[in-house]
Amino acid sequence: MTIRLTVNRERWWNHVVGVADEVDGLIPVVKGNGYGFGRAGLAIAASKLSPLLAVGTVHEIVGLPDEVTPVVLTPTWRPPDTTEPVLTVGSNDHIAALRGWQGRVIVKLSSGMQRYGGNIDLVAAAQRAGLRTVGVAIHPPLAGTDDDHRQQIVDHLPDIDPSLDVWVSHLFPSTYESLPDSHRYKLRLGTYLWHGDREALHLEADVIDTREVRPGDRAGYHLTEVPGAGTLVMIGAGTANGVAPLSDGRSPFHHRRQRMALLESPHMHTSMGFVPAGDPCPRPGDWVDLQRPLIHTAVDELRWI
């Protein structure tokens, strides 16, 4: 079973470089599964864009290019042995956990996310704890408009010392450029940077086998009754790769621009699709399109063309 991501290298890189040229203070984000590309390879690409690179956790600072400084976005209770990365704190407890560590931190300020982050007093608390505070971060939610996100950031500015960089996210470059010139800013970009040109990316899965079925037949882990005469299509993608039905329950698979029905929910390494008799049907060894967010998908094969 194989999930394959095909990338038009020139088109993809042209978009990435175009964004980097447009954004002053860009911080590329390379975290989790590396946005479907894998963290190691994507970090090399990111190192060509900025000397700073944002990662998800302290466990993701290993194996990064030597020329970049990692910025860890998620607070940690156990600081790393090195002071090279810039860590994030979002509460007094996070600050206490880093007491005695000699590195740099960014202080997370509260936003509508209500995840972690506090008021501006955390900056002084971090400094009293001996942490070198180099900036503050504001992380608006995805919900709302770009103007809503901008307003959440602007509301904090009167309390922020202009000597501190203001790290922001979830803004389009045009909105980012409109922030008041009272402060210096850095823009964290992940999805828009790496996935902004969807036409450069193609996700698909291979067909392992097919089986003709008749009305009344049952198949699958739960012996589900088939919808009618047709073909069961065994697709080499399942929960082991993060493949699941769409949020509305529909199948994530397509063949010849037609959505393929699922007989039942995907399992570890195989999904069972159903094609009614008379409809175009893939054959063993063919590939079918897969509609999944790349940040949720473990790709087996990355192909550059």
Report pLDDT digits (tens) over 139-159: 999 899 999 999 999 999 999
- In angstroms, rounded to a whole number, what is the distance separating the alpha carbons of residues 290 and 246? 11
Three-class secondary structure of residue 108 per DSSP? strand
pLDDT digits (tens, 9 = 90+) for 165-184: 999 999 999 999 999 999 99
Beta carbons of 143 and 115 less than 8 angstroms apart: no
Enter the tokens of residue 124: 């002084």
pLDDT digits (tens, 9 = 90+) for 62-118: 999 999 999 999 999 999 999 999 999 999 999 999 998 999 999 999 988 888 899
Whether the pLDDT of residue 192 is over 90: the answer is: yes
Handedness of CA 156, 53, 240, 230 (dihedral sign): positive
Under 8 Å between Cβ of 108 and 126: no
Report the CATH fold assignment for 200-304.
Answer: Lyase, Ornithine Decarboxylase; Chain A, domain 1 (2.40.37)
> Distance between CA atoms of 163 and 153, rounded to whole angstroms?
16
- Domain ranges, ordered by start, for the chain: 3-196, 200-304
Q: What is the pLDDT of residue 1?
A: 80
What's the pLDDT at 114?
87
Q: Specify the pTM.
A: 0.91
pLDDT in tens, 203-247: 999 999 999 999 999 999 999 999 999 999 999 999 999 999 999
* Cβ atoms 218, 211 nearer than 8 A: no
In tens, the pLDDT along 7-54 reads: 999 999 999 999 999 999 999 999 999 999 999 999 999 999 999 999
Closest CA to 61 of 78, 37, 39: 39
pLDDT digits (tens, 9 = 90+) for 242-280: 999 999 999 999 999 999 999 999 999 999 999 999 999
The yes/no answer on whether domain 3-196 falls in CATH 3.20.20.10 is yes
Task: State how far the Cα of 210 lies from the Cα of 283, in Å rounded to an integer.
Answer: 7
Task: Return the exposure string of 263-291: e unless at least 16 CB atoms fall within 10 Å of the residue's CB, then b.
Answer: bebbeebbbbbbbeeeeebbeeeebbbbe
pLDDT confidence of residue 260: 96
Dist CA 222 CA 244 (whole Å): 17
What pLDDT, on the 0 to 100 scale, is given for residue 112?
87
